[in-house]
Amino acid sequence: MALQRIFAMGGGGFSMEPDNPLLDDCLISLARKKRPRVCFVPTASGDAEAYAEQFEVAFAGERAETSVLRLFSRDQEDLREFLLGQDVIYVGGGSTANLLAVWRTHGLPEILAEAAGSGVVLAGISAGMNCWFEASVTDSFGSSLAPLHDGLGFLGGSSCPHYDGEERRASTLRALIAEGFPPGYAADDGCGLLFEDGTLVDAVSSRPGADGYRVELTSEGVVERPLGATYLGRS
């Protein structure tokens, strides 16, 4: 079995920072070859075509060999063969709950687990961060934030993207953990967390000050511990 690597981004990347490629460049550097095959999965946005086009503009050409997996108008008959042939699977943002429901209908969780075990790098932003964890904070159920408990569980505990970028993200996660929600990781916009075989090994950022956090309940209450993300640009 190859090392399972997941790069979870709280925000940023080509869709949020189109003029700042640092996070996406970091992701590409994790692939097993110089010009990797990168598959974008926009399920959480309902396969929004504009989103897929943004991805193609950002990645196609010298940077990567690109493809898009659409499940609402599916044109890939053998999903296993297609996904195991990638070097990086990059999951876009949107509704975490809808993403999970559609993926399960098409049998993706088992295929993605096999892909990760074969050395394919799994990655994503926002919902594409949440999906890999056991639980997450999401706006999938309306305008207010809510807990989601049925993530894929490739990573233990909970996740919360956009930690500094959206009002109430931080306070909601802290309140949920105080009530018994699983401890976990939060990431600011512009922060990426790298996990290897389920263990956090690195935190990086595309802008100074963006960070990741370990958030958990202790005898002293909910503690938020900054991870000290390394800025990928010039200091």
pLDDT value of position 234: 80
Burial of 105 (0-12, 13-18, 19+ CB in 10 A): exposed
| Catalytic, out of 15, 45, 95, 126 | 126
Q: Which residue ranges in the chain fall short of pLDDT 70?
A: 1, 235
CATH code for the domain in which residue 87 is found = 3.40.50.880
Q: Identify the domain containing residue 179 by its residue range.
A: 5-231
pTM (predicted TM-score): 0.96
pLDDT value of position 235: 62
Per-residue pLDDT of 9-62, as tens digits, reads: 999 999 999 999 999 999 999 998 999 999 999 999 999 999 999 999 999 999
| Catalytic, out of 15, 162, 205, 206 | 162
Asked about 162 being catalytic, the answer comes back as: yes
pLDDT value of position 164: 95
What are the φ and ψ backbone dihedral angles of 182, each rounded to 5 degrees? -60, 140
Number of domain units in the chain: 1
Nearest-CA neighbor of 123 among 184, 209, 204?
204
Sign of CA dihedral 79, 114, 44, 146: positive
Neighbour tally for 127: CB within 10 Å: 26
